[in-house]
Structure formats: C-alpha cells, structure tokens
Amino acid sequence: MVSAYIGYKLAGIMGAIVAAIGIFLPSFILMLSILPVFERARKVVWAKAALKAIAPAVIGVLTVSLFHMAPYALPDPVAIALLIGTVVALLVWRVGAIKLVLAGALAGVVRSRLLSLPGIRAMISSY
C-alpha cells in the first residue's frame, strides 16, 4: 500500500499501478511456484502437526501486537465505538469483511467532513 501511495505521488494513477504490481507480483509468482510442493507437504504427518501448532502461536503474536497498537489505533471514543461495532457486526451478524471495510471508509469520510465544519468543530472543542 505504501508503494502504491508513493507511486501515485510520483507518477499519478499509472505510477500507483506500476508500484503495486512491482511489489505484489514477485511474491504472487513465488507462491504459485511453491504451491505444488506445499500441497505435498501438507500430507506429511509431521508437517500437519507443525501447521496445527503454528496457528495458536500466530494468534498469540497478533493479540500481543493488537494490545501494543491499541493506544495509537484507538485515539478517541469514536474509534473505540467503531471497533466495538465492527466486532459485533463480524461475530454476531456475520457481516462480510469487505462490507465492513467499505463502511469504515465511509464513516471516516463522513467524520472528516463533519469535523471540517466550523460549527461542529467549535461544539466538540468546547467539551
């Protein structure tokens, strides 16, 4: 994503496309080339056991990272409310992740537009 952003800043839309392709294409080709080997390795007993053991470790690492990032990722009550709403939508209502990403983007745009209005900004800063 950063490469696409830098490509966009340097050469517009075409720069973003070329930069994104340049970043993602090598790993995509690598994954396609090792996929047959990986499929064979998944049938080996010790490889199955290793993959089963790696999953909880990855969840643990992600959880620790989440707790480290939380103070920076949740700077205000609106962000906390969006997080809670997203978790509820994912777990209770089974809303798809793409829909939630689009809803979050829309909420961010609406919030930034509302905060750019002088009356809203003055009302918020008075609290």
Q: What is the pLDDT at residue 127?
A: 53
Domain for residue 112, yes or no?
Answer: yes
How many structural domains comprise the chain?
1
User: Which tokens sit at 53?
Assistant: 């053991």
Q: Within 10 A of 7 (CB to CB), how many other CB atoms are there? A: 21
Q: Provide the domain limits for residue 92.
A: 74-127
Domain for residue 11, yes or no?
Answer: no
What's the whole-number average pLDDT of the chain?
88
Cα torsion through 84, 89, 90, 95, rounded to 10: -150
What stretch of H or E contains 7?
A: helix 2-41
Cα 117–chain centre separation: 29
User: Which tokens sit at 13?
Assistant: 């839309």
In tens, the pLDDT along 25-37 reads 999 999 999 988 8
- As a whole number of angstroms, the longest Cα–Cα distance in the chain is 65
In tens, the pLDDT along 40-78 reads 887 888 888 888 889 899 999 999 998 999 888 888 888
Cα 60–chain centre separation: 18
